[in-house]
Amino acid sequence: MNTKINISSRMGMLTNIRYILITALRDWLFIGLLISIPCSAIFCEMPSAMPALAFLAIGHLGQAMSTVTGASTLMTMVPGQMRAQTTAIYYLVITVFSQLLGPPLVGALADWFGDPRALRFAISLEALIVGLPSLLLIWFGFGAVRHSALDLQARLKAA
């Protein structure tokens, strides 16, 4: 009986740590997206190459932050024996969506504008079209994750 209480309290402590870690990772993921989306939308509107490269570099930093933080968040949510497969699927989905949706969307937007010089507007618009829904998805999706962590914590306290 004493062992059950000890294991339950340890699991509760681990759940608290996971909850705090998931919340912190969500914040870093959101901050990475908040950095990358505006910089990716603004870089092609710069008047010269140096500011464009600066915004592009900052945008890539934000993208790297959000990509790595997303993988770290998944690692806190899945069991140990599923982590490799989860990481592989995560990076596969990112690669497939970025390669299959990004370039055709930019091309379709550039064609819609009707001017070859409008390619920079198409790139900016594509960053906003893809980026803003991802911000909303992350923000509202993590509410469900937080709810499950709190539910697990309540079940462990009751046991």
DSSP 39-108: HHHHGGG-SSHHHHHHHHHHHHHHHHHHHHHHHHHHHHHS-GGGHHHHHHHHHHHHHHHHHHHHHHHHHH
Q: Which of 132, 105, 107 is nearest to 34 (CA)?
A: 132
pTM over 0.75: no
pLDDT in tens, 27-80: 788 888 899 999 988 998 888 999 999 999 999 999 888 888 888 878 877 778
- How many folded domains does the chain comprise? 1
Range of the domain at 50: 2-158
Whole-number Å distance between alpha carbons of 113 and 115: 6
Q: Tens of pLDDT along 80-130? A: 888 889 899 999 998 888 888 888 888 888 889 888 888 888 888 988 888
DSSP annotation of 115: -
Check: CB of residue 73 under 8 Å from CB of residue 22: yes
pLDDT of res. 58: 94
